[in-house]
Amino acid sequence: MCMYSAKEGMPTDWHLVHYGSRAIGGPGLLFTEMTCVAPDARITHGCTGLWNDEQEAAWRRIVEFVHAQSATKICLQLGHAGRKGATKLMWDGMDRPLEEGGWEVLSASPEPYFPDSQVPRETSRADMERVKAEFVTATERAARIGFDMLELHCAHGYLLASFISPLTNRRTDEYGGSLDNRLRFPLEVFEAMRDAWPREKPMSVRISATDWAEGGITGDHAVEVARAFAQAGVDLVDVSAGQTVREARPVYGRMFQLPFSDQIRNEAHVATMCVGNITTADQVNTILAAGRADLVALGRPHLVDPFFTMKAAAWYGAKTYCPPQYAPGQDQIMRNSVRDRADLDDLKVRGKPKTRAELKAEGEGRRLAAE
């Protein structure tokens, strides 16, 4: 999740503490926020980037800390904001255009996100070659830094996603029209990145499995999108949804995006990661046990509790890696979890509704006692 706290694309001490503390908290895999491949690829002035040596050094500091102080792997997510770029910081007005200090934005077609947003320039072939080269250069930097995994962001209406959705792609050339054509540029970028990324390290792609809008991408389309990326060499599909057009009408609820992960995993036969209002370890375990996803990502729960994973592991009696500095805290939570589980089991027994036979027997006993 974007922190909007970078300076000129540079991750700062905020990011070191943010990612470092969550890595120490015990997750198996940590994803960075969408990191932009060029200054004009940013959503806001506060977005992180990976287009120069200073940014590369700052990211290396974070990755080396994660590897040295935890057992967590870390994945870099790369993206280009497209028509949703040159906007205000989230807390100043999410997706609202900058009033000053903006930059030209690109999209598959020249249609603004809001009526008063900047009208994007339709991406030309020269733009495509430049953007693809920027993704490749950032990929090479990520490999030098030592990231364990790489993800390409093709969701939420950003540049590559704008090619995939028919709601934002009105082109009449070989990059518009059919789904195969709309996937052409995102796949060209992915394949170029895959060639530059170490073969032994995995790559994933984030997609919007539905636009939540009439005439847009649906779950059935998402299966085809996943298959196309799988043929191009993707190892995992990160299944998100929406944020493509302002008129979207998402259907919110617990685990509301899970059905799309389920459909893609079991119809396209591609490994998936599900996201979206998943808040408890019980939900995570149920999803995995039911075969509805291969990985589960929890963003907001980790924002407010960096030790969510360590606490969940303790609840189930599984001891995860813990830095020696924090061992006393882990020992305590392991002990407390045993007691808390016993208390819950006892409460379940005492609170179990009685059967009709038991109630009838009790009533008969009271009647005899009264006599």
Q: What is the DSSP letter of 66?
A: H
Q: Is 209 left (phi over 0), alpha (psi -120 to 50) or beta?
A: alpha
| Nearest-5° Cα angle at 322, 320 to 327 | 120
Place of tokens 């170490």: 198
CB neighbour list of residue 289: distance below 8 Å, 6 or more residues apart: none
Asked if 265 and 273 count as a contact pair (C-beta separation under 8 A), the reply is: no
Residues with catalytic function: 158
Asked if 268 and 230 count as a contact pair (C-beta separation under 8 A), the reply is: yes
How many CB atoms within 10 Å of residue 268?
19
> Residue by residue, what is the 3-state secondary structure of 97-118?
ECCCCCCCCEECCCCCCCCCCC
74 forms beta bridges with: 30
β-sheet with 236-240: strand ranges across: 29-36, 73-79, 149-154, 203-208, 236-240, 272-274, 295-296
User: CA nearest 75: which of 112, 22, 128?
Assistant: 22
Q: Is 323 left (phi over 0), alpha (psi -120 to 50) or beta?
A: beta
Whole-angstrom distance, CA of residue 341 vs CA of residue 140: 48
Radius of gyration (C-alpha) of the chain in whole angstroms: 24
Q: Is 78 helix (H, G, I), strand (E, B) or coil?
A: strand
